[in-house]
Amino acid sequence: MFGSFAAMLDGSQRKTLLGIAQVVMLGELAVNQVLDHVVPVG
């Protein structure tokens, strides 16, 4: 979703939004890793 919106922006605004999107994705990966350790699958 961020990628589609970023495509409509120019220059520094695009870079800022893509940076925010990357931080959000890293946060999601971190939460998923924690959940894997706290709540084992199966």
pLDDT for position 4: 77
For the chain, list the strands marked E by DSSP: none
**Could you tell me the residue ranges of all domains in the chain?**
2-38
Q: Which two structure tokens, joined as six digits, stand for 11? A: 């220059």
User: CA angle, 33 as apex, 30 and 17 as ends, to 5°?
Assistant: 25
Q: Which two structure tokens, joined as six digits, stand for 39? A: 């709540």
pLDDT for position 39: 72
Residue 40's φ and ψ, nearest 5 degrees, are: -65, 145
Encode pLDDT of 5-40 as tens digits: 777 888 999 999 899 999 999 999 999 999 988 876
Q: Is the pTM of this model over 0.75?
A: no
* Whether 20 contacts 1, CB under 8 Å: no
pLDDT for position 9: 85
pLDDT-derived band of residue 2, with 50, 70 and 90 as boundaries? low
Q: Is the pLDDT of residue 41 over 80?
A: no
